[in-house]
């Protein structure tokens, strides 16, 4: 599990903590290399289920395109679009450059931006600069990131102090038990995360959102998290980046073959959103991500009841291909699709769009209903 500072400062660094910090940085850099090299590394698997959902096209929309309103809020702050850049990187030089480009694009487009886990700054404090995205995105919400499993052992005041230094508007607590199990150095004990997250949320100076990392948050866990103080849930479901497959590229032999068996693991994002809304999770607390790959996927997630929609892999690949310009271009494309789909569904506001009529396949309804059944005991 490694060593974490109980003090947020670089004095008194012990060798073990620094070594853990170096290992964190190398691992994050390797993840980034794997995720951007589409030709060599296959990191996506399964289906997010958005292809099982269609909008009811309105031949007479009775809507004027310039009237469309896409502005909303994120973590209580106004934003221009219901879209966010998911938590990704920091802790390596490459990660720092990626963060700068993402933050500049977020600022230009008026959308929120996340960052990768800040655990490394408590082990290797000089890399805090990699996470100071506020310099590049002063007018949009910026949110930090930390692992739920780390909250069990860390001094929460140290994390709050780091968050204050980064001037963030929120923090995402990530759940990634699948990935940890396939990291040779990963955590193996996942007891107590909900309780630690509840304690953390209670003292947090900014809102806490809890996210998965590509396998989805099942209804029972979502209920536990919402009851224990998480203000927002980002389902981060299956169908996009699969972190066991990312780890597979760093494994060999039987461990790699075991990872291969988890290609189809996880809860597809689209039916999961449908189930959580049907079970009564308030739309304003529900965020969507995981396998969102185009503008229409964003629209479908919104119409399934998510407040805002996040993407990770498409943005990191856009940075790699063309830096800040490619990211802003991609966001521009998503905006065009969103505005057009709102018109063609006869909706002017995001509130109307959240209840747009959807035509769903029987496969979608089967999965959604099974998830609703799985959550009935707690909701």
According to CB under 6 A, which one of 289, 328, 360, 367 is a site residue for ligand FMN? 289
Among 32, 128, 163, 288, binds ligand FMN (CB under 6 A): 32
Q: Does 45 bind ligand FMN (CB under 6 A)?
A: no
Q: Does 106 bind ligand FMN (CB under 6 A)?
A: no
Binding-site member from 5, 132, 241, 367 for ligand FMN (CB under 6 A) = 241
By CB under 6 A, what part of segment 146-185 binds ligand FMN? Answer: 172, 174
113 binds ligand FMN (CB under 6 A): no
- Asked if 70 is part of the footprint of ligand FMN (rule: CB under 6 A), the reply reads no
Select from 82-90, 134-142, 149-157, 322-330 the region that touches ligand FMN (CB under 6 A).
82-90
* 69 contacts: CB under 8 Å, gap ≥ 6: 348, 349, 350
CB of 145 to ligand FMN, least distance (A): 5
Assess 304 for contact with ligand FMN (CB under 6 A): no
Residues in contact with ligand FMN, shown as a per-residue x/- string from 205 to 234 under the rule CB under 6 A: ------x-xx--------------------
Give the 3-state DSSP-derived string for the chain, with helices as H, strands as E and coil as C: CCCCCCCCCCCCCCHHHHHHHHHHHHHHHHHHHHHHCCCCCCCECCCCCHHHEEECCCCCCCCCHHHCCCCEEECCEEECCCEEECCCCCCCHHHHHHHHHHHHHHHHHCCCEECCCCHHHHCCHHHHHHHCHHHCCCCCCEEEEEEHHHHHHCCHHHHHHHHHHHCCCEEEEECCHHHHHCCCCCCCCCCCHHHHHHHHHHHCCCCEEEECCCCCCCHHHHHHHHHCCCCEEECCCECCECHHHHHHCCCCHHHHHHHHCCCCCCCEHHHHHHHHHHHCCCHHHEEECCCCCCHHHHHHHHHCCCCEEEECHHHHHHHHHHHHHHHHHHHHHHHHHHHHHHHHCCCCCHHHHCCCCEEECHHHHHHHHHHHHHHCCCC
Kindly tell me which of 68 and 217 has the beta carbon lying closer to ligand FMN. 217
Q: Name the segment binding ligand FMN (CB under 6 A); options: 71-79, 150-158, 284-292, 368-376.
A: 284-292
Residue 133 in contact with residue 169, Cβ under 8 Å? no
Q: Which is nearer to ligand FMN, 80 or 293 (CB)?
A: 293
The answer to the question of residue 290 lying near ligand FMN (CB under 6 A) is yes
197 part of the interface to ligand FMN, by CB under 6 A:
no
Q: Pick one of 166, 201, 286, 312: the residue that binds ligand FMN (CB under 6 A).
A: 312
Q: Interface residues for ligand FMN in 334-373 (CB under 6 A)?
A: none
- Position among 5, 20, 31, 197 found at the interface with ligand FMN (CB under 6 A): 31
Beta bridge partners of 44: 241
Residue 116 makes contact with ligand FMN by CB under 6 A: yes
Q: Exactly one of 70, 72, 89, 360 binds ligand FMN (CB under 6 A); which one?
A: 89
Residue 92 touching ligand FMN (CB under 6 A): no
Q: Is 25 in the site for ligand FMN (CB under 6 A)?
A: no
Of the pair 104, 211, the CB lying nearest ligand FMN is at 211
Q: Which stretch binds ligand FMN (CB under 6 A): 150-158, 182-190, 290-298, 328-336?
A: 290-298
* CB < 8 Å & 24+ apart, contacts of 1-6: 1/153, 1/187, 2/123, 2/185, 3/123, 4/119, 4/122, 4/123, 4/150, 4/153, 4/154, 5/122, 5/123, 5/158, 6/154, 6/155, 6/158
Is residue 244 at the binding interface for ligand FMN, with CB under 6 A as the rule?
no
Q: Does 91 bind ligand FMN (CB under 6 A)?
A: no
Contact range with ligand FMN by CB under 6 A, out of 151-159, 307-315, 328-336, 361-369:
307-315
Interacting residues toward ligand FMN by CB under 6 A: 31-32, 35, 86-89, 116-117, 145, 172, 174, 211, 213-214, 236, 240-241, 289-292, 311-313, 316
């Amino acid at each position: 599990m490694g060593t974490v500072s109980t003090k947020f400062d670089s004095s008194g660094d012990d060798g073990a903590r620094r070594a853990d910090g170096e290992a964190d940085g190398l691992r994050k850099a390797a993840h980034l290399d794997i995720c951007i090299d589409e030709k060599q590394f296959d990191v996506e698997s399964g289906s997010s289920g958005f292809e099982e959902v269609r909008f009811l096209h309105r031949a007479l929309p009775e809507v004027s395109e310039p009237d469309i309103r896409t502005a909303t809020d994120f973590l209580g702050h106004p934003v221009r679009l219901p879209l966010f850049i998911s938590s990704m990187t920091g802790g390596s030089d490459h990660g720092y450059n990626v963060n700068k480009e993402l933050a500049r694009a977020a600022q230009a487009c008026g959308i929120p931006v996340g960052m990768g886990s800040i655990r490394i700054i408590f082990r290797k404090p000089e890399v805090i600069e990699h996470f100071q995205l506020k310099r590049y995105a002063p007018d949009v919400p910026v949110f930090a990131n930390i692992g739920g499993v780390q909250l069990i052992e860390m001094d929460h005041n140290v994390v709050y102090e780091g968050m204050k230094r980064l001037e963030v508007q929120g923090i995402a607590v990530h759940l990634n038990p699948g990935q940890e199990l396939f990291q040779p150095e990963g955590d193996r004990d996942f007891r107590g995360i909900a309780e630690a997250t509840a304690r953390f949320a209670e003292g947090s100076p900014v809102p806490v959102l809890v996210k998965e990392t590509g396998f989805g948050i099942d209804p029972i866990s979502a209920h536990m998290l919402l009851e224990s103080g998480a203000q927002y849930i980002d389902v981060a479901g299956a169908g996009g980046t699969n972190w066991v497959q990312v780890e597979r590229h760093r494994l060999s032999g039987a461990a790699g073959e075991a990872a291969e068996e988890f290609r189809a693991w996880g809860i597809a994002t689209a039916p999961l959103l449908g189930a959580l809304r049907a079970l009564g999770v308030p739309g304003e607390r529900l965020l969507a991500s995981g396998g969102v790959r185009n503008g229409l996927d964003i629209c479908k997630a919104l119409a399934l009841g998510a407040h805002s929609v996040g993407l990770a892999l498409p943005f990191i690949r856009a940075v790699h291909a063309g830096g800040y310009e490619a990211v802003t271009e991609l966001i521009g494309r998503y905006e065009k699709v969103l505005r057009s789909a709102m018109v063609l569904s006869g909706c002017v506001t995001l509130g109307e769009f959240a209840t747009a009529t959807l035509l769903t396949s029987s496969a979608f309804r089967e999965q959604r209903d099974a998830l609703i059944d799985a959550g009935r005991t707690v909701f």
